[in-house]
A and B are shown apart, each in its own frame.
Chain A
Amino acid sequence: MLSLIQIKGIRDGLLITLDGAAWPELATAFVKNVDERSSFFQGARVALDVGVNELRVAELSTLRDQLSERGIALWAVLSESPVTVRTAQNLGLATRLSKPRPVQFREVAEELPEDAAKWVKGPLRSGGRVLFEGNVVVMGDVNPGAEIIAGGSVIVWGRLRGVVHAGAQGDEKAVVCALEMAPTQLRIASEIAISPKKQGKSQPEIARLKDGQLVAEPWQELTGR
């Protein structure tokens, strides 16, 4: 039964994946496992990944109560089933870990050439959304309320004021360039940043991940001109 339960340490405590059997057995097996190793689990914060299991409020709240009796705080439930996600939300549990899961593109090209880019004629206005698995080039402004999600890098020949997620499938080498960098929010891979209040004249900038930190630097400094 133990193989049904995988335990992983994450930043916010333990991530426990329950899979490979139907629900009542899984829950029983998990609680039994907890009882056997109570010193390990004592005081733990636990996120549960229940896979495709469809859980109703009664089932999930029973498990939560059983865990809390054993000194374990259940704070999140991850699931592929929308029913379970709704149940978890109804119980006030988180349904995702703090970092967004990598974006899944619906139509993934078989083998996208590295230089493939989507050409977008701007301005990209509020409510406009570009989702592309490769690089994205916008000729014009990206206004507040617009959103670009790219598997690769994003280049904006204009003012970037909307939301951009580059490297959305986890590519940490992705960059974002804009003639004026003032995004509402900028994401590269799993890092999220908001742009600081700018003073003075704006200049072309490039944003990238440096040692896990999202940094934006003026283009001139990089090219040494």
Chain B
Amino acid sequence: MTTKVVTIASGKGGVGKTTSVANIAVALASRGQKVTCIDGDIGLRNLDVVLGLENRIVYDLVDVIEGRCRLRQAMIRDKRLPELYLIPAAQTRDKTAISPSDMVRLCDELRPEVDWIIIDSPAGIERGFKNAIAAADRVLVMTNPEVSAVRDADRVIGLLEAEEKGPAALVINRLDPAMVKRGDMLSVADVLDLLAVELIGVIPEDENVIVATNKGQPLALDGKSKAGQAFQNIARRLMGEQVPFMDLGSQNLFQRLLGRK
């Protein structure tokens, strides 16, 4: 199989890029894929925390680029899964420490080693974002069902089109079906209507995500949560499977007990 480089970007911050990178990487790795994630958020690194690998960092992305270590030395292996690695960002530098061509070279060097390279883009549309998408074969654009996040996603999709990065795929995160039903939140259809791109995942709002993030235990490791399942589904779709979208019906426990539809 040829290696795929997938970047997750959003424009707006706080929509869940880092959490998704961690979960999609875990989901792919749990399906027997060789995966390396790269934290592109130099200066504000987080992916190591979300994956629970913070205390094992010795070398980072900038060390590799500047030749202070070999690529292999900067790849931290996640012990929970056989083939999941993280290349962490440097915390003491900034986005200008690397260039888009550095990222292309790094990914080319990695390609023979793994099946997937998942890159976490920083928020914004400047240098860090340009670095993160430089090597991407595919870009997943992440948004929340709210007007400002959708506006930024639209901008990012426009930039990707201008850079001829191919059609972006959309991930809608933190959807609350009950709020949509009340008409207080944009629905999946509303978002797609504006952005007019392919949808690759819808992740329901789930407070377990915060718990999992704090513990450094990505949700996709546990099969029960709906959000975890949604990440698994994105991984399967990336691998080329046709997976129907989950029914995120707004039935609550009370309604279920009453046996109402």
CA distance A128 to B196 in the complex (A): 15
Chain A, residue nearest B147 (CB): A144
Bitwise, B153-174 to A at CB < 8 A (1) or not (0) is: 0110111010000000000000
CB under 8 Å from chain A, chain B span 152-199? 152, 154-155, 157-159, 161, 194, 196
Q: Does A143 touch B at the CB level, under 8 Å?
A: yes
CA distance A144 to B194 in the complex (A): 9
- Is A101 at the interface (CB under 8 A from chain B)? no
What 0/1 pattern do residues 133 to 162 of B give for CB contact below 8 A with A? 000000000000000000110110111010
How many of chain A's residues have a CB under 8 angstroms from any CB in B? 10
Is A125 engaged at the interface, CB distance under 8 Å to the other chain?
yes
State whether B196 touches A145 (Cβ < 8 A): no
Please classify the interface of chain B as helix (H, G, I), strand (E, B), loop, or mixed, using the class held by over half of its residues: helix
Contact A126 B196 (CB under 8 A): no
- Chain B residues near A143: list those with CB within 8 A: 154, 194
Interface residues of A in 127-141 (CB under 8 A from B): 127-128, 141
A-side contacts of B158, CB under 8 Å:
125-128
Complex interface bits, B93-108 against A, C-beta within 8 A gives 1, otherwise 0? 0000000000000000
| Minimum C-beta distance from A158 to chain B (A) | 10
A123 to B159, CA, bound (A): 13
Chain B residues whose CB sits within 8 angstroms of the CB of A161 once the complex forms: 194
By beta carbon, the residue of chain A nearest B157 is A125
Bound CA–CA A126/B157 (angstroms): 9
- Taking a contact as CB atoms under 8 Å apart, the answer to whether A141 and B196 are in contact is yes
A116-128 interface mask toward B, CB cutoff 8 Å, 1 = contact, 0 = none? Answer: 0000000101111
Closest A residue by C-beta to B194? A143
A205 to B199, CA, bound (A): 31
Given A125-B158, A127-B158, A127-B159, is A144 in contact with B196 using a C-beta cutoff of 8 Å? no
- Most chain-B CB neighbours within 10 Å: which of A125, A141, A143, A145? A125
Interface residues of A in 147-195 (CB under 8 A from B): 161
Minimal Cβ-Cβ distance residue in A for B196: A123
- Docked pose: A127 CA to B159 CA in angstroms: 9
Shortest distance between the CB of B168 and any CB in chain A (Å): 11
Q: Point out the residue from A123, A126, A128, A141 that lies within 8 Å of B152, measured CB to CB.
A: A126
Nearest chain A residue, comparing its CB with the CB of B11: A126
- How long is the Cα–Cα vector from A117 to B104 in the complex, in angstroms? 40
Residues in B with CB closer than 8 Å to A123 are 196
Contacts of A145 in B (CB 8 A): 151, 154-155
A127's nearest neighbour on chain B, judged by CB, is B155
Q: In the complex, which residues of chain A have a beta carbon less than 8 angstroms from the beta carbon of B155? A: 125-127, 145
Distance in angstroms between the alpha carbons of A125 and B11 in the assembled complex: 13
Q: Which of B152, B154, B157, B159 has the most CB of A within 10 A?
A: B154
List of 6 A-B pairs having minimum Cβ-Cβ separation, nearest first: A125-B158, A126-B154, A126-B155, A127-B155, A125-B154, A143-B154
Kindly list 12 other residue pairs between chains A and B, CB separation below 8 angstroms, not including A127-B154, A127-B155, A145-B154. Answer: A123-B196, A125-B155, A125-B161, A126-B151, A126-B152, A126-B155, A127-B158, A128-B158, A141-B194, A143-B154, A144-B151, A161-B194
Partner-B contacts on A (CB < 8 A) = 123, 125-128, 141, 143-145, 161
- List 9 A-B residue pairs with CB atoms under 8 Å apart, sorted by A's residue number: A125-B155, A125-B158, A126-B151, A126-B155, A127-B154, A127-B158, A127-B159, A141-B196, A143-B154
